[in-house]
Amino acid sequence: MSNPAAVDGTKVLLGSGKLYFDRFDANGVTSGERFLGDCEKLELTSEDDIIELFSSADHDRGLIATANRKRTVTLAVQMREFDKENCALSMMGDTSPLVQTSATVTDEPIKSCLGDRYIRLSKRDITSITNVKKGATVYVNNTDYSATAADLVQGRIYVIPGGAIDALTHPDSLTCTYVSATITRQRIRGATASTIIGYLRYEADNSVGKNKDLEAWRVQVNPDTAVALIGQDWGELTFKGKVLNDAANHSTEPYYRLIER
């Protein structure tokens, strides 16, 4: 006969698995479940706001009643893959391609600056610079300014210390004529989404313990910790999500469910 009080090592958990998120559009319409890649953390928290009533009839003012005013269910996710959609989730933004067509920009107004600084242009991915000038005065590349390949990708020119641009009264009005390349780049527009709501699915593949799959019907994403674009460890993207009540569609399990496989 087995001992009912014995510890069962098969019931412990060392969790791992795959996370998917279906980001709803502005009208609440599904966009499809997208795999979030390698995720180091998924945590569920339920927190009750308990109000207490203490007696005023005697000196020890004993606790005579409690009530739960509200319950908040939250999810915490830590992602490792810096793709554009994950960045948009963590940064409360959206994704939109940056499209630029090849064009010759003639006499774009720019402002001079001191030497050992950069002047930015309105375009990026510049293929060539025709001239930088003030009125009829044309400045000399590699003497007054320089435009390396790396700088042209960023869409800027470097002012050489001691050159004619450095000698101007700053800021002064200049113009630049250049050619920009045709590009299509992925872009994350950070902090542009007032609300992100979606459906979250977790497919467990545990190292130890029975697999339990999670479905949270409506998760409202909230920013969590800072995104370390420079750091001494592997970067991570995080977000917290408030699990909203969806009793209208799931009357018996309005927040989420775990299904044991």
Q: Are residues 112 and 178 in the same domain?
A: yes
Q: Are residues 76 and 90 in the same domain?
A: yes
Task: Count the neighbouring beta carbons within 10 Å of the beta carbon of residue 150.
Answer: 8
Q: Which residues of the chain have pLDDT under 70?
A: 1-2
Residues 102 and 180 in one domain: yes
User: Of 148, 165, 185, which closes a domain?
Assistant: 185
Answer yes or no: do 172 and 200 share one domain: no
Beta carbons of 157 and 132 less than 8 angstroms apart: yes
Would 87 be classed as within a structural domain? yes
- Dump pLDDT digits (tens) for 176-205: 999 999 999 999 999 999 999 999 999 999
Identify whether residues 22 and 132 lie together within a single domain. Answer: no
In a domain, 53, yes or no: no
Q: Based on the domain organization, do 89 and 197 belong to the same domain?
A: yes
pTM: 0.88
**Given this model, what pLDDT does residue 6 score?**
85
Residue 180 sits in the same domain as residue 234 = no
Strand partners, 183: 100
Residue 3 lies in a domain: no
Same-domain check for residues 230 and 125: no
Number of domains in the chain: 2
For residue 4, what pLDDT is reported?
74
Question: Where does the chain show beta strands of DSSP type E?
Answer: 17-23, 34-35, 39-54, 63-79, 94-95, 98-100, 103-111, 117-120, 126-134, 137-138, 145-146, 156-159, 173-180, 183-185, 188-189, 196-204, 212-223, 237-243, 256-260
Host domain of residue 116: 98-185
In whole angstroms, what is the distance from residue 123 CA to residue 126 CA? 7
Same domain, 219 and 236: yes
Q: Does residue 105 sit in the same domain as residue 127?
A: yes
Q: Both 21 and 42 in a single domain?
A: yes
Other CB atoms closer than 10 Å to residue 224's CB: what's the count?
Answer: 15
